[in-house]
Amino acid sequence: MRPRSVFLVPLLLCSLTLTRPAPAAEGDWEQTSDKDGVQVWKREDPGSPFHGIKGSGEVKAPPVVVAQVLLDEARSPEWIDSLAEARVVQQAAEDDYIEYNRVDMPWPVRDREFLPPVHMSLDEATGVATIKSEPFTLAALPPKPKTIRGTLRAIYVLEPLADGAHTRLTVEIHSDPGGWLPAWLVNFFQKDWANETIAGIRRQTAKTDLTRPDEFKVWLARFDARRPPPTATPGAPARSSGSSSPSDAAPPPRAP
């Protein structure tokens, strides 16, 4: 949903005189790494000099918790590198909205902002959820001063694993940060985006103070409607899905 933004100043300065290569034709996914339980691929994007990046890994949390982390704009800076601002601009329906993200860039590069519409879907039969962003232009919200607006296409696929408590998360991004940044430099740093995104989501879903954002409570409730109630284990606390706090839970049964 959001691009990585760590660019080294010396490399940026020496790249000012370089031009971007011609856009490449679409190619097959090529695996580039397999570490920490995350597989990563890249491919050439048609009409763009920037690589598409895809990654897949397991998250030790149910899909509803992963979705809640992805949709919680207010807390996104906690796990997304250099994200300076994130908010919901407009919500057309419970499963459609426009988000605004501003990425803090090091001098002398201008900050980048992205304004993608986002659509969420949940397959009631399989429990697979998809959160998808597309490039978009909103004339009513022009770019901020000294900020360059890029384009972003991303997809997050949340697949419940057999135990229902873990998620196979697949992430994919195709972005153009705009401006004069050379493609080779963007591709070099963005190659780690999938690893860092999945690692950040793993850390965030492990937190115990997560709550469901008000804008998306109705959509997130769809997960509850299809999930069977968890089987309680005596003496073991149930994992929270963010819909209630520990104080809301009923006390354990008294031993005879």
The enclosing domain of 42 has a CATH number of 3.30.530.20
- Please give the pLDDT value at position 1: 52
Is 165 inside any structural domain? yes
In this predicted model, what pLDDT tens digit does every residue of 61-102 receive, in sequence order? 999 999 999 999 999 999 998 999 999 999 999 999 999 999
- Please give the pLDDT value at position 251: 40
CA–CA separation, 203 and 250 (whole Å):
27
Cα of first residue to Cα of last residue in the chain, in angstroms, is 52
Is 2 inside any structural domain? no
Q: Which domain holds residue 125?
A: 28-227
Is 204 inside any structural domain? yes
Q: Partners of 121 in the beta sheet?
A: 130
Is 20 inside any structural domain? no
CA–CA separation, 83 and 248 (whole Å):
33
pTM of the model: 0.78
Number of domains in the chain: 1
Q: What are the residue ranges of helices labelled H in 15-104? A: 63-71
Is 245 inside any structural domain? no
- Please give the pLDDT value at position 25: 43
Is 149 inside any structural domain? yes
Phi-psi region of 212 (alpha: psi -120 to 50; beta: other; left: phi over 0): beta
| Ranges under pLDDT 70 in the chain | 1-27, 227-256
- Please give the pLDDT value at position 58: 98
Is 110 inside any structural domain? yes
Is 7 inside any structural domain? no
Buried b (16+ CB within 10 A) or exposed e, 101-123: bbbebeeebbbbbbbbbbbbebe
